[in-house]
Chains A and B, each alone.
Chain A
Amino acid sequence: MISAKQQESPILEVKDLHVAIEGHEILKGIDLQVNAGEVHSIMGPNGSGKSTLAQVLAGRDVYEVTRGEIIYKGKNLLDMAPEERACEGVFLAFQYPVGIPGVSTSYFLKTALNAMRKHRGEKELDAVDFLKIAKEKAKLVKMDERLLNRAINDGFSGGEKKRNEVFQLAVLEPALAILDETDSGLDIDALKIAASGVNCMRSSDRAFIVVTHYQRLLNYIVPDFVHVLVDGLIVKSGDKFLALELEEKGYSWIEQEAQRKQLATC
């Protein structure tokens, strides 16, 4: 599976990652390497730990990393606060974005972008410059500009929330973008638009981890690698055809296969 290209420039290296919540182990030894320019998809049944992995990468502190390490661009990611990770280029599109009454989307995003620019030693943007960028990116993901003036995700439909996440991704231009079930809640047209937004952003110095339950999204965001997460372990990795196989046969065969493997190693 490891190609020569992958060894060149890893953005993310996850090694033997064990994660627990309230003493209950959810991730049981994840190994994953993501290189610049790649799109990795993580698929798996509900409750298998996909969001846990995504949230741990973003720095959510309710999860306890009990073993293993995460190296991001050569640095220990686990040593960094969530805001530091964000400023260093890690972005998570949430499965369930929070609604925040009283703070407009544009203020929120301008504050976020300026925090990152400041971190990089760049000049902060004023409202006018920011708005120019925001409007351009809103067009890219075909998001209604008026959402900019509304409180973040407050009273947004499921689809609007997800599109807002993709919009934020487009504005913040991270090095590593993790999309957690961005497809759920989107109808097929919205999904195509969101995917084209992501595709526009694919580049040789940026990587994506696309978490999804269904194969559908992967018709539009074509992954280089597909990993199947079952019960806290990556039980199978392959290329985009693995996703199609999963679509056709469901997850049960792979779960059974995983069980057989586990029994065999016991």
Chain B
Amino acid sequence: MDRARGPKKATRNLLAIGRYGMTTTTDTTDVYAEQFFKWARILGRDCPAWLHPVRQAALAQFAERGFPTMRDEDWRHTNVAPVASTEFVPAQAHAAKVTPEQIQQFRLRGDDEAVMVFVNGYFAGHLSDVTTLPEGVRGMNLAEALAVDLPVVKEHFARLVKSQDNAFVALNTAFAQDGAVIDIPPDVVVETPIHLLFVATAEEQPVVAHPRNLIVAGDNSSFRVIEHYVALDQGVYFNNAVTELFTGDNLAGDHCKVIRESDQAYHIATLQMRQGRSNRITSQTICLGGALVRNDINPVLDGEGAESSLDGLYMLDGAQHTDNHLCVEHRSPHTSSRECFRGILDGKSRGVFCGRIIVRPGAQKTDAKQSNMNILLSGQAQIDTKPQLEILADDVKCTHGATIGQIDPDAIFYFRSRGIAEDAARNLLVYAFAREGLSSVQDERLRAQLEEVVLSRLPDGELLRGVV
């Protein structure tokens, strides 16, 4: 493809610079670059011309930086070498082999659900149904949106995320083929939950997918989006996801992200959101499955009175590693943010919570609260938690707190004093702690599914049914 040729050279040069002095033994940075050029034809097919320079610039950024190492401050506790050293092959569109029955357990059920299903990153039309969306609301998959050069995509694609800040974002921008495009016009209230279900299946070789979602919500609208990652089989694969969420003024939105990847899977994702004036976004990040999970959650409060409420739960076991990196940027006065992340760590699992709060000059009367509570169930589990405050305005309220501990011994004693055995008391309290972490999930059908997952992970989970 002609258009790819010129930048190809330039990229190669950048690549050479980027690799100079690198100490990583195996790194697939250049493999991705090779892939890109091999794939340029496919990537370019049915794509509008404006996208090529965006992709090429992103690839150049990626090639220049390479994968992050633990020397990068933002990746200090998360070693991505397993991801960087695995030669993932791009996932193929095999969507047709998944049947509706196979995904039934993940559906919200009921007839009000708008669902878009993606299999290994590719849209599966036969499993999807967006006819329940109100008139004027568009739910289209990215590949199709690019094929028809949907203006909303051109206007917003890669405008919020910055490839130079995050190698995985760069990689996604360079390779993204499919994902969801949701366009909600001003003044429309979408009662229907919009369920984006990403299904992974086991393939012969480890595959990589780069799901790319774009959600644009106009002024005075309201919506609920669920971004749900599940696995049908155990297997090694890599989901490298990016979601950009543009929200206007005076609206209410909810974004629920659920990660139930396979035990051997890698999931690295960025959720970038822009919030306008008097805009209230609630977000939940529920991490239950995956060998290595990293979430970057970056709301930008870009209008007076904007509010962000970010909840999270991670429940880890075995050798799971989950890293939640939040960066809330208060750009306007009277904005508020609340973060509450809970962790339950068992086995040799490792959790990371990093909560960065930036208050820009002029963002007076900012109110930011952050809390991260962790329960360690085993002596070998580990959590690194830290707040990072950059406050550049003077009239600001900012509180943060983190706890790491065992289950409250007073609570255990209270149960035991009522005849409940110690083990049962402990399980009950862990479950209660997890349930609190799920309580902010708005869709009750999804919440019930997740409570079941939590129960199935606890010893004697059966006995805990009906705690509420």
Contacts and interface: CB of A to CB of B under 8 A. Distances in A.
B468 A86 contact: no
Interface stretch (A28-36, A65-73, A100-108, A216-224): A100-108
A116 interface: yes
Given A102-B467, A103-B432, A104-B467, A97 B414 contact: yes
B414 A94 contact: yes
A83 B411 CA distance: 13
A111 B416 contact: no
Contacts of A103: 428-429, 432, 467
A22 to B, nearest CB: 15
Interface string A130-171: 000000000000000000000100000000000000001000
Main secondary structure on B side of the interface with A: helix
A83 B468 contact: no
A75 interface: no
Contacts of A109: 418
B432 A101 contact: yes
A102 B429 CA distance: 8
A92 interface: yes
A104 B468 contact: yes
B151 interface: no
A107 B418 contact: no
Given A100-B432, A102-B436, A102-B467, A168 B419 contact: no
Interface string A58-85: 1110100000000000000000011101
A107 to B, nearest CB: 5
Given A100-B411, A103-B428, A108 B436 contact: no
Contact of A83 (B409, B416, B439): B416
Nearest to A100: B411
Given A103-B432, A104-B467, A111-B428, A98 B419 contact: no
Contact of A107 (B419, B436, B468): B468
Nearest to A127: B466
Interface in B64-117: none
Contact of A112 (B408, B419, B436, B468): B419
A83 B467 contact: no
A119 interface: yes
B431 A102 contact: yes
Contacts of B416: 59, 81-83, 86
B413 interface: yes
Nearest to B409: A62
B60 to A, nearest CB: 49
A59 B422 contact: no
Which of B419, B435, B468 neighbours the largest number of chain A CB atoms within 10 Å of its CB?
B419
Nearest to A114: B419
Interface in A39-63: 58-60, 62
Contacts of B410: 98
B414 A83 contact: no
A91 B418 CA distance: 7
Contacts of B408: 98
Interface in A175-200: none
B16 interface: no
Given A111-B428, A112-B419, 10 more contacts: A58-B413, A91-B417, A101-B436, A102-B436, A104-B468, A108-B418, A115-B418, A116-B419, A172-B418, A172-B419
Interface of B: 408-411, 413-422, 424, 428-429, 431-436, 439, 466-468
Interface of A: 58-60, 62, 81-83, 85-87, 91-92, 94, 97-98, 100-104, 107-109, 111-113, 115-116, 119, 127, 151, 168, 172
CB-based closest 5 A-B pairs = A102-B432, A86-B419, A112-B418, A82-B416, A115-B419
